[in-house]
Amino acid sequence: MEICLDSDILIDLLRGNTEITGIIRELEEGFELATTSINIFELYYGAYKTKRVKNIDAVDELANSIEIYKLTEKSAKLSGKIVAELKSEGNAIDFRDALIAGIVVENDAILFTRNVRHFQRVQGLKLFENIKRF
């Protein structure tokens, strides 16, 4: 089974958050870790906003060390469905989050995010919930 790390978790990891680093170490023992191309985009966007080469280099290093799920035609279709269904229910979701969710569902992975309340609205998306440690 694979666990897909959301941007908030990756940011904490890049910042050296010891709690997240410990959880990630534990997860590496039993799971393959991945992220999505959307999450990598979000990290690069944040790094370039800081205008600090060390932040861009840190994202480069992370991106080269983790599996990155890509947006495919299938995940795009799933994401479009997610946005349409949630919007019709009055529960709109950010397009980037819908893309992340579609990619994670396509890859049959578990999403590790701090934003559980937001993503739990997505039908078929498995979430890693380790609330006690946060």
Q: What is the pLDDT of residues 26-72, one digit of tens each?
A: 999 999 999 999 999 999 999 999 999 999 999 999 999 999 999 99
- The string of pLDDT tens digits covering residues 86-104 is 999 999 899 999 999 999 9
List 111's β-bridge partners, or say none: 4, 127
Q: Is residue 81 part of a domain?
A: yes
Q: Is residue 77 part of a domain?
A: yes
Q: What is the CATH number of the domain that holds 42?
A: 3.40.50.1010
Q: Is residue 134 part of a domain?
A: no
Cβ-proximal residues to 63 (8 Å cutoff; 6+ apart), any chain: 40, 43
Q: Is residue 10 part of a domain?
A: yes
Q: Is residue 104 part of a domain?
A: yes
> For residues 125 and 134, what is the distance between their CA atoms, to the nearest angstrom?
21
Structural domain for 110, as ranges:
2-129
Tell me: pLDDT of 131 over 50: no
Q: Is residue 72 part of a domain?
A: yes
* Residue 39 CB burial class (10 angstroms; 0-12, 13-18, ≥19): buried
pLDDT at residue 132 in the model? 39
Q: Is residue 125 part of a domain?
A: yes
Total number of domains in the chain:
1
Q: Is residue 29 part of a domain?
A: yes
Question: pTM of the entire structure?
Answer: 0.92
